[in-house]
Amino acid sequence: QQPVQSPQAVILREGEDAVINCSSSKALYSVHWYRQKHGEAPVFLMILLKGGEQKGHEKISASFNEKKQQSSLYLTASQLSYSGTYFCGTEKAAGNKLTFGGGTRVLVKP
Amino acid sequence: NAGVTQTPKFHILKIGQSMTLQCTQDMNHNYMYWYRQDPGMGLKLIYYSVGAGITDKGEVPNGYNVSRSTTEDFPLRLELAAPSQTSVYFCATKGSGQYLNYGYTFGSGTRLTVV
């Protein structure tokens, strides 16, 4: 079952912060986050594993609440380059396939 | 080091025709995937493979076929193309073993239009 992302879209001014949420109804092994620029392929940002291991990217960080099966992506002091569509992907077991959410469109304005 | 290479980048196909989308990787990754992305939507899994000779269906396999005879190549075959198959197709790979908890590497995509 597809994870649910919210919000669907967010507009920011440069330097502002934003949070994107990803929720699943199933128990998860990991949550991935990707960013896709218009007309390009998704690019891996980070993975959050069951048990709390986390990897970061620039001023973007994330958390994973195992009890709620929810992950949040934090865009801190946003830059123009942060614009794009962010997708979470969830994995039910190690080595399993990813199921992607519907995406969150982020636009950072000067 | 090319990573994941998809060909062609663009293609227009007539209804009822067939074609093969190519995906090749030079990262020695065992896991390979085919996703489709409709305009403004997320990615949906068509087929995947955990190694040479092993393939399995994703959530939207109808109208497609795959094969995996080598670690490097994972072609996607469209049979009897329909307008509903108009989409952008992405091939992705992931490592195994010590690289299991790394992210996917995507190819640049094939933009397919069926008319």
- Quick: pLDDT tens for A54-105: 656 668 999 898 888 999 999 999 999 999 999 999 998 887 799 999 999 9
Interface probe, candidates B106, B108, B110, chain A, greatest A C-beta count within 10 A: B106
Distance from CA of A28 to the nearest CA of B (A): 13
Question: How many Å apart are CA A8 and CA A103, to the nearest integer?
Answer: 7
Residue A52 confidence (pLDDT):
65
Residue B27, CA distances (Å) to A69, B10, B89 in order: 32, 24, 20
Are the Cβ atoms of A47 and B105 closer than 8 angstroms?
A: no
A30-34, A45-49, B53-57 — which is least confidently predicted? A45-49
The whole-number average pLDDT for the span B4-17 is 97
Pick from A94, A98, A101: CB nearest B104: A98
- Report CB contact under 8 Å: B100, A94: yes
Q: What is the mean pLDDT of chain B?
A: 94
The SS3 of residue B98 is helix
